[in-house]
Amino acid sequence: MPDRSLWLTRANGLTSIRLIAAPALAVEISRGQALAACVIFSLAVATDFADGIVARRFGEASALGRLIDHSTDAIFVSIGTAALACAGELPILLPTLIALSFVHYALDARNPQADGPRPSSLGRWNGIAYFVVLAVPIVRDALGLSWPGSSVVNWLGWLLIASTLVSIVDRLRFSLRR
């Protein structure tokens, strides 16, 4: 069993805020409460930026912390995009692929023959894009804007599905070559 001090860090405390915020975000999206959803999303992004800074500042950076951070990001964007898919903004396939992509990443990280998961620039950009595609309709609605419309957001979701599939296939090919 890992030492509790590896789990109970300031950085993981910030990350846990994002984990707790995920279902709250889904509730506010489903209730059509754009301003509340925007505040929750902003809090989540702030904790995502801060947890790494705090981990490095206080010497708390670790492989476990990175896995917890990535896991929380995947959970947050999967739940948020699922709520937007239920609202008709995004394709329902997107949150499923986000979760599948992360599971593959996590399994890759556990491979004893490798030194963690293989870095992937496409995977990193997809991770950023998951937050962006989640933010666009939330911020649009919180500001009362009409653009970009649901069809544009849905189209962006399909583009992200395509890039996620490419990333999954790329990581799978790399994993099979080990």
Q: What is the CATH number of the domain that holds 116?
A: 1.20.120.1760
Q: Shortest CA distance to 103 belongs to which of 163, 175, 39?
A: 175
Phi (first) and psi of residue 62, to 5 degrees: -155, 165
Put simply, whether the predicted model's pTM sits higher than 0.85 gets the answer yes
Query: Residue 20 gets which letter from DSSP?
Result: H
- pLDDT tens per residue, range 18-53: 999 999 999 999 999 999 999 999 999 999 999 999
Question: Per the structure, how many domains does the chain have?
Answer: 1
Tell me which residue range forms the domain holding 76: 4-177
What whole-number percentage of the chain has pLDDT above 70?
Answer: 89
Using the predicted structure, report yes or no on whether residue 177 has a pLDDT greater than 80: no
**In this structure, what is the dihedral angle of CA atoms 163, 168, 170, 174, given to the nearest 10 degrees?**
160
